[in-house]
Amino acid sequence: MVEAAAATFDAELQSSVPVLVDLWAPWCGPCRAMAPNLEKLAQQRAGRLKIVKLNVDQAPSSAARFHVQGIPLLVLHRDGREIGRLAGAVPLAQLQNWVDGQLSEVDR
């Protein structure tokens, strides 16, 4: 899991593995509730999925590119393009299933 700043965000999206961007803010309760699930997912998928956390308060221009309506917002990228979005806090099992489903759709 990587914390990105506005200056490093675009570089963090460049990866040989899919990238899951977590758009969050420290004042957001649901964002804080998702943090342990994202940490577990990062551990489970080490080397197969990169998770990049972007604080929307510290990088508003980067966040604006995603037309964020609310947080937490997860945006999954593969080969430099967006392939899916998930809004709101979800349990770990739902998060795992969503990531797997999005990636399998792209593989078809």
**Residues annotated as catalytic (active site), given as ranges:** 28, 31
Q: Taking the chain, what is the end-to-end CA distance rounded to the nearest angstrom?
A: 27
CATH class of the structural domain 2-103: alpha beta
List pLDDT tens digits, range 36-95. Answer: 999 999 999 999 999 999 999 999 988 888 998 899 999 999 988 999 999 999 999 999
- For the chain, domain boundaries: 2-103
